[in-house]
Amino acid sequence: MISLITGSLVLSLLHAIIPNHWLPILAIGKKEGWSIHQTTRITIIAGMAHATSTVFIGLVLAFVGSSLADRIEEFTAFIAPGLLIALGLFYIYQHSRHHHFHLHGHPERVSHSRVVISLAAAMFLSPCFEIEAYFLVAGSHGLLVVLLLALLYTVVTVTGMVVWVRMTYRGLLRLNWHSIEHNAGIITGIILMATGALSFFIR
C-alpha cells in the first residue's frame, strides 16, 4: 500500500506539472484579459472538472479491483503489480504518441461564461487514464485506500495547476514546457513500472 500511495502521489505531481493541463487556461486568460484572481478561479473550476471525471472512472475500476481481489487470491500479490509494470511499458512505448487535450485560443471573442464552460468541458472529457491503474489496484486494499487516493489525486492535481498558473502568470517560471510534455509518457511509464516492482516487496 505504501508503494501504491507513493507512486500515485508522484504521478499526480507529474500530471499537475504537464503544461497541457494548465497552459491553455493561462493562454486564454491572457488573451481574454483575465486578472490573476480570475485565472486562478477558472483554473480551479477546470481542474475540479478534470479530477471529477478521473475519479469517477477510478471508482468504477476500484470496484472491479475489489471484486477481483475477492475472487482471485493472487490478484493483490502478483496480478496487480504486474498490471502496473505492463502499463508502464505501454506508456514508454507509446510516449511519442501520447496526447492530452489541447485547447487553442478562440479565433473570435466569445462570452466569458462560454469560455469557462468550454474549458471545464474539455478538462472533464480528458481524464488522466494513467492514474486509473492505481485505482484498480487500490480497490483490492479497501474503500479507505480508494478514497485516500481520490482525495490525494484531486488535491495535488488542482493545487499543482493553480501554483503553475500563478507562477507563470507572474513571469516567475521559465521552463522548457515542450520537453517536459514530450517526455511525460516515458516518465509516467517509469513511475508505473517502479510502483509495480515495489508492490511485489512492499505491501
Q: Quick check: 146 and 62 in contact, CB under 8 A?
A: yes
Task: Extract the C-alpha cell encoding 114.
Answer: 462560454
pTM: 0.70
> How many separate domains does the chain show?
1
pLDDT tens per residue across span 27-50: 788 878 889 999 999 999 999 999
Q: For residues 58 and 134, give the distance between their C-alpha atoms in angstroms, rounded to a whole number.
A: 8
Asked whether residue 21 carries a pLDDT value surpassing 80, the answer given is no
Q: Quick check: 4 and 145 in contact, CB under 8 A?
A: yes
Name the residue among 173, 126, 123, 134 with its Cα closest to residue 3.
134
Arithmetic mean of pLDDT over the chain: 76
Looking at per-residue pLDDT, the higher value among 128 and 83 belongs to 128
- In terms of residue numbers, what domain contains 52? 2-102+110-199
Name the residue among 152, 195, 193 with its Cα closest to residue 12.
152
Which residues are CB-neighbours of 114 under 8 A, at least 6 positions away? Answer: none
